Amino acid sequence: MSKNNHPASTFFQKQHTIFRCPICSKQMRVVNAKSLICSNDHCFDISKYGYVNLLSRSVNNKYDKKMFKSRRTLSKSGFFEPLYERITQSVMNRAAFKNEVTKVLDAGCGEGSNLSSILQKINQSIPYEFLGVGVDISKEAIIAASRHYKSCIWCVADLAKCPFYDKQFDLILNILSPANYSEFQRILEDEGLVIKVVPDKDYLQEIREILYEKTNKQHYSNDKTLELFRDNLDILDILNVRYTRILDNALIRDLIQMTPLSWSATEVSLQKILKMNSLEITIDLTILLGRKKL
């Protein structure tokens, strides 16, 4: 097999020490610029697209290519731009940047647009070197991320068994995605920062009202999520980002394709939304900032 010349292979070679084998937890090294191999010879090939699949078993989920394409389209349209701006400002205010490489993990990164957009904004203001690492359990998501965003390390992996050594990351992002706090505690530097984004009560309320009218899914509360965050981390701040966007029919379709809210909706209610020419959508999000309990 020919040598892997994808730019990401250089990232893996330079940063291989952050990895530990997801099977036996041993140190990993890069061999021939194409594989991550541990001292027990567990081998994970670096794809020609520049990502590595560190799952030891196959995983089935509802996240497919169409969903991630729609999510990327929405991100490029500016749908999440105020959120990215607020996160960037929070990072600049709170994070302890290093003279060497500041390592940022996006846990549950999807197709990579969140991490790429935030790092791009940070790099416009701060001259330090940042290493972005994105992890998701969906192979389709990581394939998309590695194809579109070449400046980060992308890994298919399970958050319940993160393939990284202890205290490797200065910042963990967890945006509209499940968390694993025991692993976050393990892989975060002692002075590191966790930024978690969760929906607030009015997030996509217009979609909920149409898809789940007069049902218990019409309303949402993030109280349990906030309580879990507070139980596991010392809270530094709680911020709210709320704004609206008017979507045309094409972006309405992308939003419906992207959101899990559509998964259990009836075909009648879905068609009602998909036939709309425009719709004003509320984006209502809570940003939680926390540090390890030491």
What's the pLDDT tens digit per position in 36-63? 999 999 999 999 888 999 998 777 666 7
- Among the listed residues 135, 117, 116, the one whose alpha carbon sits nearest the alpha carbon of residue 174: 135
Q: H or E element: which one contains 230?
A: helix 223-232
Task: Evaluate whether the domain defined by 8-292 bears CATH number 3.40.50.150.
Answer: yes
What pLDDT is recorded for position 123? Answer: 87
- Rounded Cα gap, residues 171 and 146, in angstroms: 21
d(CA 175, CA 156): 17
Residue tagged 């995605």 (tokens):
177
Q: Is 15 left (phi over 0), alpha (psi -120 to 50) or beta?
A: alpha
Model pTM score: 0.93
For residue 150, the SS3 value is: coil
pLDDT the model gives residue 63: 74
Q: How far is it, in rounded angstroms, from Cα 144 to Cα 245? A: 25
Backbone angles phi, psi at 124, to 5 degrees: -75, -20
d(CA 87, CA 111): 18
The structural domains of the chain, with segments of one domain joined by +, span 8-292
pLDDT of amino acid 3:
47
Lookup result for tokens 């791009």 = 120
Average pLDDT by stretches of 10, the chain with 294 residues: 55 86 93 90 91 85 83 95 96 76 94 96 84 94 94 94 95 96 96 96 93 74 92 96 97 94 89 95 97 88
pLDDT of residue 1: 36
The phi and psi torsions of 267 (rounded to 5 degrees) equal -65, -35
In 129-219, the DSSP E strands lie at 129-136, 153-156, 169-175, 188-199
Distance from C-alpha of 180 to C-alpha of 107, rounded to nearest angstrom: 9
